[in-house]
A = this chain, B = another copy of it.
Amino acid sequence: MVHIDTAIAGIQLSNPMMLASGILDENGYTMLEILKKGAAAVVTKSIGTSERTGYKPPVVVPIQGGLLNAVGLANPGIDNFRDEMKIALSGNRPVFGSIFGATADEFLQLGLKMEEYGATAVELNLSCPHVAGYGTEVGSDPVLVEDIVNTLKSNLKIPVFAKLSPNVTDIVEIAKAAQKADALVLINTVRAMSIDIHARKAVLTNRYGGLSGQAIKNVGVRYVYEVSKETGKEIIGVGGIENAEDLIEYIMAGASAVQIGTALYTQGKDVFSRIAAGLVEFMESEGFNRISEMIGVAVE
């Protein structure tokens, strides 16, 4: 008998799939719907301390092999997010509150609110622009990452996930800086851009954006593998998962669970149930009984 439930940071998940942050998770009712469609958990859109409308559209551009986005951290502000959390939590499944900020203090303020709202865990989005460094992200500064993670770990009761950016020279260094986190989430989007050759202009209003979807799957698998091998930490894999094979690749690279974003666009909302069916079929034919037997088997 095949069991596809798994656990991350001690949190039980009925299957290894959760909704990735930023996709269909701004409205509480949408998160509820995604849970009904078979996600074991949802991660909210990244929420900051104050309300932001974000960039003007185009903020999302479909391209070959995925999506480019630069939403500009649009969010209602943490104070306005209480209702959405309440609605999402009525689904009686884990809801992870994603938060972003520029300092450890901002992250702490947000984390405490998420805890108060009932979030099952917080996920730290370390990919917002780093005020100090030009063109880089909070998540590329190991000292800042360590400060943020440690501050949250010493002040929150709920688990803390650190979501790392792939846009760094050495991800292992950053992963080690985040070692107190209960789990690492790998990866956020890859820096990219699209130019419209007829308009002779970048399509995204912000010009630069983040690449997600199939195009980054093998990049994500690589980071999960490397970080798993070098740190042994619990990992949530994310990036370009569209089918059961992709999910299994992440699990075998060392992920205990995964997140799914862009596939909601390419595959529709049934992606969760379709992947679950494919996963069961694979495990049956390959003789795996539990997800835990597959985690990291390819790592050597």
Nearest-CB distance from A201 to chain B (Å)? 5
Q: Mark A231-249, 1 if CB is under 8 A from B, else 0.
A: 0000000000000010011
DSSP class of A's interface residues: helix, strand, loop or mixed? mixed
- Considering the complex, which residues of chain A in the window 182-214 have a beta carbon less than 8 Å from any beta carbon of chain B? 190-195, 197-198, 200-202, 207-208, 211, 214
Q: How large is the interface on A (under 10, 10 to 19, 20 to 34, 35 or more residues)?
A: 35 or more
Distance of A202 Cα from B191 Cα, bound (Å): 25
* A159-172 interface code vs B (CB 8 A; 1 in, 0 out): 00000000111101
Chain B hits for A200, CB < 8 A: 252, 297-298
Which residues from B are CB-within-8-Å of A282?
197
Task: Check: A140 CB closer than 8 A to any chain B CB.
Answer: yes
Q: Does A116 reach chain B (CB closer than 8 Å)?
A: no
Which residues of A, 239-263, contact B by the 8 Å Cβ criterion? 245, 248-249, 252-253
Listed in ascending order, the chain A residues whose CB lies under 8 Å from chain B are 63-65, 68, 133-136, 140, 167-170, 172, 190-195, 197-198, 200-202, 207-208, 211, 214-219, 221-222, 225-226, 245, 248-249, 252-253, 282, 286, 297-298, 300
